[in-house]
Structure 1
Amino acid sequence: MARRSKNQAKRNGNQGTPGWVWLLGGLVGGAVIVLFLLMRNGGDVGQLLPKPDPEARAPVVTDEPVAQDAPEPRKPKYDFYDVLRDKEVVIPDAELNAQAQAEAQAPATEDPAPAASGVRYLIQAGAFRSSSDAEALKARIALTGELARVESAQIEGGTIYRVRLGPYPNAASLAAAKRALGNHGIEALAIRAE
């Protein structure tokens, strides 16, 4: 059997009030307060509870639509819509597909090389204010088997980092590359640069 040291005996000696006395005192004090409140209200517990309002009215239902705040317009995912507007033209999907079909039906003797016409076909997968975001998209594109690059440009006093693929020799190869990115969940824009 373990012996208690003299210090412990002194610490727990007759100097303090035991914990069970404090607990019992708290319970008795709480019971006295509850009895006092019940006696003050004539013993009716219902008077302590909230009372219903007899004059309350239900809201009126109307057929008129309730005016709601207009949702905030969606912010564009990328900042490149207004970038270099004079030198680059975004090619809509319908126009790109029509141009690719026209190239496929053209005679093989024609040379649709972009060097002769001065037109370059590019894909822009995104434009970001942060180079780390651009590098992350470039890495995601690399997992699809495509080769992308990050180009920086000064726009309105700030640097923008664009993720681009290409140049492609014609609209058909551009459309195929854009479809491949779309199949992997990467939205991109076809661009004709002159």
Structure 2
Amino acid sequence: MARRSKNQAKRNGSQGTPGWVWLLGGLVLGAVIVVVLLVRNGGDVGQLVPKPDPEARAPVATDEPVAQDAPEPRKPKYDFYDVLRDKEVVIPDAELAAQARAEAESPPATEPAPAADGARFLIQAGAFRSSSDAEALKARIALTGEVARVEPAQIEGGTIYRVRLGPYPNAASLAAAKGALGNHGIEALAIRAE
């Protein structure tokens, strides 16, 4: 066993100066400084505080505004609906449900009947400025059992990455796929492309 020197034992064993002594010392030092300042100024406390200038004048109002008008709030450069091409129309949920019911009421066929007007049905699950965000959504969609793809598109001088599913042969299959995505918390738009 190593022997400690007396200085080390004393240093480790003593508690030092208590905190209240340091606090009291600081208060006394502060009081001494205040007394010294008061004695230097002849006991006049008024000299220690700032005084307003009695001859100061307010600036004259001019026709020019002092502050500029607040700028209009920035509109986002990207709107989900702007991404769609001119020949693509968003199908509202009510219209999609009505069209799917109408298809279900028609006589059954061995295969789902394609749209009579030659339209294709697609789902757009999202559009992103970053391809990694689009790929992440595509992977999330794959967990639902649906197959998605990422399509780059040039919009307003920049590239966006659309996550799309389809084409679906009719509104009924489109509604079923959109419902499957919705059940997994993925919001999507039904699109009719011509």
TM-score band, normalised by the shorter chain? Answer: 0.5 to 0.7
SS in structure 1 at match of 2:182: helix
Larger mean CA deviation between 110-119 and 122-131 belongs to 110-119
Hey, what does 2:16 align to over in structure 1? Answer: none
Confirm whether residue 150 of structure 1 aligns to residue 150 of structure 2: yes
SS in structure 1 at match of 2:90: strand
Structure 1: gaps of 5 or more residues: 5-22, 43-71
How far residue 184 of structure 1 moved from its aligned partner, in angstroms, is 1.3
Shift of the 157–32 alpha-carbon distance from structure 1 to 2, 3 Å rule, reads closer
Q: Contact (CA 8 Å) 2:153, 2:161: kept in 1 or not?
A: yes
SS in structure 2 at match of 1:90: strand
Hey, what does 1:2 align to over in structure 2? Answer: 5
Confirm whether residue 141 of structure 1 aligns to residue 128 of structure 2: no
Structure 2: gaps of 5 or more residues: 8-21, 46-72
Which residue type is aligned with residue 30 of structure 1? G
TM-score between both structures, scaled by the size of structure 2:
0.61
Hey, what does 2:55 align to over in structure 1? Answer: none
**Cα deviation code 1:108-129 (max 9, x no counterpart):** 3598633764221110001111
Shift of the 25–149 alpha-carbon distance from structure 1 to 2, 3 Å rule, reads closer
After TM superposition, list the pairs within 5 Å mapping 1:114-193 onto structure 2.
114=114, 117-193=117-193
Shift of the 27–155 alpha-carbon distance from structure 1 to 2, 3 Å rule, reads closer
Supply the distance in 2 between the matched residues of 1:109 and 1:27 (Cα, whole angstroms): 95
How many matched pairs?
148
Q: Contact (CA 8 Å) 2:115, 2:170: kept in 1 or not?
A: no
Supply the distance in 2 between the matched residues of 1:143 and 1:107 (Cα, whole angstroms): 34
How far residue 94 of structure 1 moved from its aligned partner, in angstroms, is 0.6
Shift of the 171–32 alpha-carbon distance from structure 1 to 2, 3 Å rule, reads same
Larger mean CA deviation between 127-136 and 91-100 belongs to 127-136
Hey, what does 1:87 align to over in structure 2? Answer: 87
How far residue 134 of structure 1 moved from its aligned partner, in angstroms, is 0.6
How far residue 31 of structure 1 moved from its aligned partner, in angstroms, is 3.4
Q: Contact (CA 8 Å) 1:181, 1:187: kept in 2 or not?
A: yes
Supply the distance in 2 between the matched residues of 1:161 and 1:74 (Cα, whole angstroms): 20
Supply the distance in 2 between the matched residues of 1:93 and 1:133 (Cα, whole angstroms): 26
Identity %: 79
RMSD: 3.6
Supply the distance in 2 between the matched residues of 1:146 and 1:89 (Cα, whole angstroms): 22
**Cα deviation code 1:125-151 (max 9, x no counterpart):** 011111111111111111222111101
How far residue 82 of structure 1 moved from its aligned partner, in angstroms, is 2.0
